[in-house]
Structure 1
Amino acid sequence: MKHIFYLISFTACLSVQAQNQSSKIAAIRAAYTAINTDIAYKVVNLDNEILLEDHPGEVPDGGEELTGYFKGKEVKKIVYFLGISRGNYQYEYYFDKGKLCFVYETFDTFLQIPTGLDLSKTKTIFEGRYYFDNNKLIAYKVKGTSPYSPYAASDLPQMAADHLNRLIKKR
């Protein structure tokens, strides 16, 4: 009888935790939608020349761009583009009340043709969706494989903070 009570209690705790996570993800999705539908942002854009100051001599093959979307002093979204020899990475960082809540990552590879790579055509081979609560990963969903990504999901909050610092410094 005692074991049945513990089993029921454990199952109830798991159910409450899953509902709590579901409600957090729903709130993150609502924030994502609100951020992407708002058009009244102050946009700060840093391109190759400005970003090169942070790492001289390390120009990526396809360029590098960092764009921040601000409401007053608060960041709402950061988009980081990095072009490498085999394709393009893009990271979109979303913030709710100043805290990272969601990251959408893609890798688009250049298409292989008989003479090499067609740099005018890409195919998305990786998509990652990462949900955060207080800078802690609470859920993720990935599709495909990212053969070149040196980053783990646990690195994303620090990457977002580094990008934000770059934007604030150059603003």
Structure 2
Amino acid sequence: MNITIQITSFTQNDWPIISAIYQEGIDTGIATFETKVPSWKAWNATHIKSCRIKAVSKDKTVGWASLSPTSRREVYKGVAEVSIYITSKYQNLGIGKLLLSALINESEKEGFWTLQASIFSQNTPSIALHKSLGFREIGYREKVGKLNDIWYDNTILERRSKLIT
């Protein structure tokens, strides 16, 4: 499939489609420990305002990425956690790489020096995507959370900016 993708920021007006894509991720069972999509108000309160982007193909949002702070402490103000979701019909087309690349660029413009990702260890495509863009595996958290009575490990990855020293 040959598609053209535009990467732009998203706002509350985009929440219905963003949350639907998020729900698809929840439904996979290996994208998040969340079991239901939060309200916009709850999601908005926990995510960084400047680093929220979406991938659009033919006026249709097909994926999104955002950052959330890892800590409220001032010393960690440049460290953030990555979230990235692609609608199922548009996976394996390179959209994740476009989104994550754009998110990295946006994060560096905003002064973030380290991005981290906690990914279900079974989610090998997401781990490979992150590694392809300079994230390195720094460890894993064994049985860090339970979903539907099953314990899951998370692989922990991080990317240190080469621009912010």
Same structural fold, with TM-score higher than 0.5 when normalized by the shorter chain: no
Asked which structure has the greater RCO (Cα within 8 Å, sep 6+), the reply is: 2
| Greater radius of gyration (CA) | 1
More strand by share: 1
Q: Please, what TM-score do these two structures have when normalized by structure 1?
A: 0.28
